Amino acid sequence: MASHNSKYYNKKLRKRDGDGNLKITDIFRKAAAVQTEKTSISNDNNNDDDTVCSTSTNSLSNSSNKDLELAQNTETVIAEIAQYTETIIDKTVQNTETIIAESAQNTETIIVETAQNTETVITEIAQNTETAQNTETIIRLRAPSAKNDSHTTDYNSTPNTSLPIMQDSDEKEVRLFELSKKYSMTYPWLYYNFSKGGYLCKICETFGVKYSSAVSNNSNETPFVDLAVNWASGGGHPKRKLDKHGNSNRHKSALDKQLGYMSTKHKGTVLQQIKSGASKTLEQKTLRNRDYIKKLGKTLYFIVRKKWAHTDNLEDLVRFLAEELSVNPFKEYLDTCSADATYLSAGSVDQLLTCISNKLEIDILETARNQTCIAILADETCDEGNLEQFAIFGKFPYQGSTEHFLGIVNVENITAEGLMGTISEFLLAKGIDIEKVMCCCF
């Protein structure tokens, strides 16, 4: 039951009490607000069921229109971007071509200018070199002579382009030098020596007797033209003096030495000549030995064909030909070879006989392989040890004969089948086609 002051206290209640809890009226107000909100939501749901279809239809229509518009805008943007990109590429290509053309033109201009500058520098160097040579020649011509000791030249100083007038001695040397050019066409051995102040002979100076203090100036052993004759002071005609020197014995001797040197120059040094001579000697010795072995093999083959005892008769026959009949190469080889290199021992003879046998067998078998048809002859025979063997012959044309010995084999089975098997194996081993055998006789 409420107090008579409940209304008053209800109005005086604050929002929260002293402990911070909500007031009673506020609790009831929130519950009412929640109930009102639930009712509003229920009403809204009923209204939404009626309009959801129309709203969905309108939304789909609006979405389709927006997608179409967006696609059109996208295509327009892509086209504009492509056009802009193509424009940029064209401008870039044009700029690149322009830059390349300008670079090529600049490079060509630089090359032309460099070539011109190089040519100018070369021309200047040639001119400077020629000037230096001329200056050096003039300075050398103006060197102090024995007759004019007062004439001195400072070689360390810088040459002056305005050269003074030459002295008489300088003019004389220049004139003599010019004369040497004139007479050098007739006398190739002549030249003018500035240091000696006269004309010299190149051949006598190189290949003649060298001048020394022990030899007087008038000696015939002097290798020069009167020891550098100076025509200006000698008082004789130049041609007469040169002819006298050219006909002198010392000049002819020096000329012979020069010709001998030139003829032997192409042969090389002494070491090269020794090696060349040794090589030629070795080659000649090798050819001589080969000729001896070849003739020795032919002699052995002759003895075998005659059915002589080759082991004992070969040495006697060869020494008879060399010592009694002086037949070469037997005599020449046996006179120069050592005692253990005659190739006449029993072992050497057997090796030669084996080589001859192999050579004959190779030639006969090669001929048999190239035949279109052959005949086989087989018979029993004995070897050197009296052992019974099976000898096989072939019948085909070769070197004027039709029957040729092919080989001897050992037979274990003497029946017809065994003999044919042995012949077949023999032909197969020798490389002869058995289908070419048209006849087989025993």
- pLDDT in the model for residue 53: 44
**% of the chain beyond a pLDDT of 90:** 1
CA 235 to chain centre: 66
Q: Which two tokens stand for residue 389?
A: 């063997």
Distance CA 247, CA 240 (A): 11
Q: What is the pLDDT of residues 11-68, one digit of tens each?
A: 444 555 666 665 555 555 555 555 555 555 555 555 555 544 455 455 555 666 666 7
Distance CA 207, CA 253 (A): 8
Q: Which two tokens stand for residue 103?
A: 């670079």
- pLDDT in the model for residue 212: 40
Residue closest to 246 by CA, chosen among 296, 186, 297, 182: 186
Taking a C-beta distance cutoff of 8 angstroms, is the pair 217, 227 a contact?
A: yes
The residues near 322 (Cβ < 8 Å, ≥ 6 apart) are: 330, 331, 333, 334, 335
Q: What is the mean predicted confidence (pLDDT) over 259-283?
A: 75
Q: Is the pLDDT of residue 214 over 50?
A: no
Q: Which two tokens stand for residue 248?
A: 């002198």
Question: What are the angstrom distances between the C-alpha of 165 and each of 170, 181, 235?
Answer: 10, 24, 27
Q: Is the pLDDT of residue 316 over 80?
A: yes
Output the DSSP codes for 301-354: HHHHHTT--HHHHHHHHHHIIIIIS--TTHHHHHHHS-TT-SS-SHHHHHHHHH
Residue closest to 146 by CA, chosen among 228, 71, 52, 219: 228
- For residue 70, report the phi and psi dihedrals to the nearest 5 degrees: -65, -40
Q: What is the dihedral of CA 361, 367, 370, 375, to 10 degrees?
A: -90
Instruction: Categorize the per-residue pLDDT at 227 as very low, low, confident or very high, splitting at 50, 70 and 90.
Output: very low
Strands 401-409 and 374-382: unpaired
Query: Using alpha carbons only, how large is the chain's radius of gyration in Å?
Result: 64
Distance CA 57, CA 55 (A): 5
CB-neighbour burial class of residue 332 (10 A; exposed 0-12, middle 13-18, buried 19+): middle
Distance CA 322, CA 344 (A): 13
**Degrees, nearest 5: CA angle 315-318-320:** 105
Q: Is the pLDDT of residue 362 over 80?
A: yes
- pLDDT in the model for residue 170: 58
Q: Which two tokens stand for residue 57?
A: 């239809």
110 or 142, which is more confident? 110
Alpha helices in 184-265 (DSSP H): 202-207, 231-234, 238-246, 249-265
Q: Which two tokens stand for residue 288?
A: 């001589």
Q: Is the pLDDT of residue 129 over 80?
A: no
Q: What is the pLDDT of residues 377-429, one digit of tens each?
A: 888 776 666 667 788 888 887 777 788 888 888 887 878 888 888 888 888 88
Instruction: Categorize the per-residue pLDDT at 314 as very low, low, confident or very high, splitting at 50, 70 and 90.
Output: confident
Quote the DSSP letter at residue 236.
S
